[in-house]
Structure formats: structure tokens, C-alpha cells
Structure 1
């Protein structure tokens, strides 16, 4: 019976012999040799010399390992390190981005988990050592330390990388396939603004100087009237708006890529490219903006320099505008507290260091943007040698501040809540999940139903439904 051949990329036993001696007959040169089965299937001799037997064998082993990693077919072997596999996976993902099949923001997210979690835990292991139990243990630790969402992202990256290893021949099966499912806390039920909250939102933004400076009233109107993502709304150009037909074409989104800055890229799926019919109040808002003078190549919601706005900064501006500043008493208390460090000749930085607080916490208190209580204020004013219980004016303001304010009802609102509000309004009006998904630019109806509802062609009836849901925009 013939002997089984060596597996491709492996070698047989190593033999060593003396090939040179000195005048006294002492061995001074050794030759080590082994049979190596190359990636073309042929078995070849690989040799290495050394002054000692150990040195010769060590050099030969290094040559064999290097030969196993070097191949002409682009395959991997189980001897490669996982870091090498991850490098190949990253390059492949970059190619998919260049072909327009993946989003560059996805690679930013994946590189973050690669750097912070996957490479430190698994990078120096060999591909053949990436067993299901070992990967399962690593993902469980990541979930414990960084949370379920991060662990799920790590699982997706590892699965893609190991799938590549299987395709290149380094593994027979994907070890991530049998890893335990990662489950986090139940997702909160989708929450949309009610009609009363929409009115309160419009009023709050229209009367907030900082919100007006950030151009938030018109932006939120546009988002409510279309259901587009904040990045998509910031990417719309005037050339894509047809005021006569009352439509807007959505084709791109704005994202920030490290080392590249803001870029305007196509939407992440073909479903994201859509033409939407606008409700009349959204058309009226755009007509008013158009009347001030525009250029067709400019975004309809530019920054102060006329360029694209950063979605992250815009979200931050919205959060700030919707912070609980509606209470006049809260603002008055903040103004009173702001004068105290001046009287004691202290800077905000000095006060923060004394209390071991971040400076931003004191700023939020002094601008009335967070709720405070007796204990918090007592701790703060003690820094100014003031006993709160003996300061009747501050006590009165603190009592008034504790009363609820109307704007406090909006502190939960984020930009995505506007999108959910649009979806829920259409759902209440009897539109199908497919119609709503087309409005939102989503390819999967299940996502629309599970995430965006609180209970491709344009959908012209959506405009009338939104008109009925929110009425005129006199408040804006």
C-alpha cells in the first residue's frame, strides 16, 4: 500500500548531516534537508546550512515556514497568522468599496473593532488555531467588556475573515459559524413624536436662537416631510429639487471618513436612491429658502461657508437645542450661579478641579441645560464659601427650577425620531410597509416594521398624508 502524500504546504521529517570538518575532524558545517510539497503539488527538497546541527535545523525550519506562506495561487495555509488573514480581508473590503458595493463608513467601524478587540485577542494566533471554542470565548469577553453591539460587529468581521480563509483553502469550515448567538438587551420599542410633540418641537426650535443659527427649524421640517436620514438631507443639492412638481431626488449621503474628511457618497443601497413627493408645507419652506438666492450645485442645507455640513455636528446641535432649557427659572438659576465664581475670582477650570468635575458639567449647570437638585447646588456653591440653606435667593430659584417645563418633554428626541415619526404617520394613514420602506429608502420591509413604525418610485400619497398629519407650518 502506497504512503499518503504530504498535504500541500507541509513538509516531511528533517534530516541533518555533517558536510565539513576542520583539521582535527570536528564538524564545522552541517546540512539539513526536508521534502516540501509545494502549492503546485510537486515535492521538492529544501535545504539549509549551519555551523551546528541546531543552527542548520533552525534555518531550515524558518525556510520551510516562509515557503508555506509564499505561494503563487493566492491561497492561505493554516500556518499563517490571523493578522495576515485580517490584512487580506481589509484589502478585499477596500476593493468592494471601490466597486461601490460597500460603504466606507462600514470599514471605519470594522477597523475600529479590529484595532481595539480582534487583533489584540486573536491576531498572533495561527489560522488553524482559530477554533470555535476559542473564538466563542473571545467574543463572550468582548460582550462583557464592550457590550453586545460591539461583540456582534466583531463576530461579523471574524465570520467574513474566516469565510475568506475557507475559500483560500486554509480552513475546511468556518469556525465562527457555530459560535453562540450574541444577544443583547431587548430593543426599545420604536417611539415617534405625537402631533402635540411635533408642534412643541417646532415652537421650541423656532424660538431658540442657537437652533435658528444652526438652521435646525428648516432641517427638521424637511426631515419630517420626507423621512430621510440626516446625512441624506445634508447631501441634497438644489439641482435635485423640483419646486414646480414638489419633488426631491435623494441619491447621496454625507459621511466623515478619517484622513479624508467629509465626503458625499451614494446611498448605501439601491433602495436609498429615490424620488420623493413633498408635502405642501415642506415645499413652502423650500420656496422661502430658494427666494433668498441659491446656486444649483449647492446643498440646500449648507454650513456657514456654503459647504457640506457634518452630520455629527448637526446631531449635536439638535441635542443641544432640545436640552431642557425651556424653564425660565432654570436659566435664571444658571445665570445666578455663573456670577458666583467671578465674585470669588475663580475660573471655571479651578472650580472643576476643586470638585473633580469635568468643566462641561459646570457649563451645563450655568446654562440651565441639566436638571439640578439641592445636593448638587449645595456642593457647587460650597466652593464659593456659600451655605445654600442660608442663601434664600438661591433656594427660591432652586424651588422654581424644580417645576417641570414643557420643553423637558423633548429631551428624548434625536434625529432618528423624526424619521420614525414620518414612518408612523404614514402607517397610521394606511400605507403599506412596502410603501413606507420605499419612502425611507430601505430594501427590507422587516427593518421598517421592526424599527421604524411605532405601532421606489415616489409614493405621491405620502405628501398628502404628511400634510394631514402635521398641518400648516405657520409656527416656523
Structure 2
């Protein structure tokens, strides 16, 4: 009968023998790849040799990610190990840094305050379910789903590391909204009259002009891009001859990294957008006026030639202008909704509008963005019928 196989990541009995004036201690260690390794150390004293082998085994275990953790480890220790690996994957482009920040925030503020003293094996399905139902009742279904997502990630990692046999989140009860449904407010978009009034006030506001807001706002109206997408647009993305701009990703504020550009929210995030003639002329004039010291740099740049910081832009220029103009309720997302409404009223399909806005599902466009991967010039033509350029703010259609 063969010898008993050691469990992965464990060592066998330490044996010690006399050798000359010293002692040799040795043991077998089975690594996580299934291979056996002979660990031996020589010391003048018998117990010193035994201790040296123990230390060597301990150091070898520490070199294996997650190996020092067990089902009896505290949940925060396991979660910290998972988050460290998740962050490295984000650096390699597997996940976005926004996801890292969101998971880190929810872990710190919603999970660890409850599971801080729990061992990993004590975080069972009923325990998780109680936490999620409490978040659902006290906050929202959206937050409960976010908390569930971070716990799922930690537990999946623990399963893959061999710490537990199954993910307890799988059997958690569905997160059903039990509170009375409140009627959602209809998406607010600028009417044509409001839009022309808004642009007229924008062009007449010296502080807004100095902050480059007229071009930026028209960029949002022409493209319907998300704020991070337009602020992250570079000059190579603009094709004057083809009359289009290509979305190449979006800017995010990653904790500890500042402003970084990622690949976008969905597969539709990278897409070409056809531009109305007035926007093509505006961008061409802008490129000529600015001189573009960096031909691969951002279209909308800060004083140092880099990407604009959204928070700084909003707090110092965008919000103060809206207050002065009497349009405090207007946001960059409002401009996105306004474009969707213009295109809807021009007769474009939900699919065409979704392609322009970069939505994976037309239902999102209809439910959230309409006030009422495929490129289409119909949207550009609809916008082209409105003279939104800085030379005039009257509708060409009367």
C-alpha cells in the first residue's frame, strides 16, 4: 500500500538526524502544483534545525497567493486578498478602475461593517441574505445588487483558491422590491425654444466663453456622447472628410490614479458618430484656431494640454453658468436626452438612436433617454436642420 498523500500546500513530519557536529532536519512539502519537494536545513543545535525547516515551510506557503488563508480566516482578510488581485487585473485592463473603486467602496461601507468579525465559513447563505434584504429595505434594490456583486466576487475567488467548496451567494433569495413603486419622473429634455435660448445665453456669457463651454456644449448636442467620452475625445478621432467622430473610450477618475481613459461601458462604446455640418465646421475651426500643439491630444484640453477634469469643469464653470442663465436643472446628461428627443421626433428608430448614444439595448434609450454599432447619417441630418452653430441660433426649418 502506497504512502498517504499530503494535502496540497502542507508539509509532512519533520525528521532530524545527527550529522558530524551538527543536525540535519528535513521534511516533504507538497506544493499546490501537486509536486513534492524535499526541504532540509542544517544547524549546530537539533531544535534550531527543526525550527529552520518550519520557517522554510512557512515562507514557501506565503509565496503561494491565498495559500495562507483558510475557511477559518476572517472574512476581511479574504476580501482584502481578493481586492488586491482584482486591482492588479484592472491594471492589466481586465476590469475598469471604476469597478475597483465601486467594489472597494461597497466592501468598506456596506459589507465589512457587518462581516468584520466573521470567519469565511460563517458567511453563509442565510447570513448574506439577511444583509442583502436589510440593504434592500433601508436603501434600494440597486445598492443591494452592488453589495451582492462584491460578496459574489469575494466568494468566487475563495472557491477558486480552495478555501470553500461552493459560493453561498448562489442560493440567496431574489432581490425583489417590496416597497410601493413610485412613479418615475419623465426624462427631462430641453424643448426647441429652451435649447435656442440656452445657447444664446451661453454664447453671450463671457465667463462661459472663456471656459470654452460653447464648443463643449455643442459637442454634446451633436454627438450625444457620455461626458467621459466627449472629454476623452482626441483629434485623431475626428475625421473631417467623413464628417464623423469615433468614440475611443471614456475618462474616469480612478482613486489614486487621477484621470485615466478606459475602453467604455459596453461593446457599443467604441463607435463612429456621424456629425452635422455645423459641428464639422466648428471642430475644423477649433483645430485651426488652437493650432493643435499635440496632434494626438484631446479636442477639449486643459491649460496644460491634457484632459479636462470633469469635477473642476463642473464646479468652476458649468454649474455657475447654469445658475446665471436660469437653467440649473440642465446637466450634460440633459443634453444627451435632448439629442435623443430630437432624433426621435425626426423619425429615427430606437435602434438607430441607441447606436448613436452607444446603448447596447434600445430599451434603455426608450425608457431613460427619449423625452417622449450601426452608423447612420439620419441623425446628423436631423441635427443639421437646426442651426445650432455659433453663427446663429434660429431654426432653419422655421
Which category describes the TM-score, using the shorter chain as reference length? 0.7 to 0.9
2:25 corresponds to which residue? none
1:51-450 to structure 2, matched below 5 A, reads: 77-142=70-135, 149-177=142-170, 178-181=172-175, 183=177, 186=182, 187-295=184-292, 296-316=295-315, 317-323=317-323, 325-326=324-325, 407=326, 410-450=327-367
SS of aligned partner of 1:276:
strand
Give, in angstroms, the shift of residue 173 of structure 1. Answer: 4.4
Q: Tell me the distance in 2 between the aligned counterparts of 1:474 and 1:146.
A: 48
The answer to whether the 8 Å contact 1:238/1:294 transfers is no
The answer to whether the 8 Å contact 1:85/1:165 transfers is yes
Describe the superposition over 1:250-301 as per-residue Cα deviations: whole angstroms up to 9, x where unpaired.
1022222222222233323332111111111211211221221322122111
Give, in angstroms, the shift of residue 70 of structure 1. Answer: 7.9
Specify the structure having the higher radius of gyration (Cα).
1
Structure 1: which 5+ runs fail to align?
Answer: 1-7, 10-37, 42-65, 327-406
Of the two structures, which has the highest relative contact order with CA contacts closer than 8 Å and spacing of 6 or more?
1
Distance 1:314 1:71, change over 3 A: closer
Give, in angstroms, the shift of residue 239 of structure 1. Answer: 2.2
The answer to whether the 8 Å contact 2:225/2:336 transfers is yes
How high is the TM-score relative to the length of structure 1? 0.63
Q: Tell me the distance in 1 between the aligned counterparts of 2:259 and 2:62.
A: 39
2:19 corresponds to which residue? none
SS of aligned partner of 1:176:
helix
- The alignment covers a number of residue pairs equal to 341
The answer to whether the 8 Å contact 1:39/1:71 transfers is no
SS of aligned partner of 1:299:
coil
SS of aligned partner of 1:322:
helix
Q: Tell me the distance in 1 between the aligned counterparts of 2:65 and 2:255.
A: 34
Between stretches 213-222 and 312-321, larger displacement belongs to 312-321
Distance 1:294 1:149, change over 3 A: farther
Give, in angstroms, the shift of residue 475 of structure 1. Answer: 4.0
Q: Tell me the distance in 1 between the aligned counterparts of 2:332 and 2:280.
A: 21
Describe the superposition over 1:110-162 as per-residue Cα deviations: whole angstroms up to 9, x where unpaired.
21222222222213311221123322333344456666544432222112222
The answer to whether the 8 Å contact 1:195/1:470 transfers is no
How high is the TM-score relative to the length of structure 2? 0.74
Q: Tell me the distance in 2 between the aligned counterparts of 1:463 and 1:473.
A: 17
Q: Tell me the distance in 2 between the aligned counterparts of 1:307 and 1:248.
A: 19
Q: Tell me the distance in 1 between the aligned counterparts of 2:86 and 2:152.
A: 13
Q: Tell me the distance in 2 between the aligned counterparts of 1:471 and 1:204.
A: 13
Give, in angstroms, the shift of residue 167 of structure 1. Answer: 4.1
Give, in angstroms, the shift of residue 190 of structure 1. Answer: 2.1
Distance 1:214 1:134, change over 3 A: same
Structure 2: which 5+ runs fail to align?
Answer: 1-6, 9-30, 35-57, 394-398
The answer to whether the 8 Å contact 2:354/2:362 transfers is yes
Describe the superposition over 1:411-458 as per-residue Cα deviations: whole angstroms up to 9, x where unpaired.
211111111111222222222222222211222333223222222242
Give, in angstroms, the shift of residue 172 of structure 1. Answer: 4.7
The answer to whether the 8 Å contact 1:110/1:157 transfers is yes
SS of aligned partner of 1:447:
helix
The answer to whether the 8 Å contact 1:243/1:283 transfers is yes
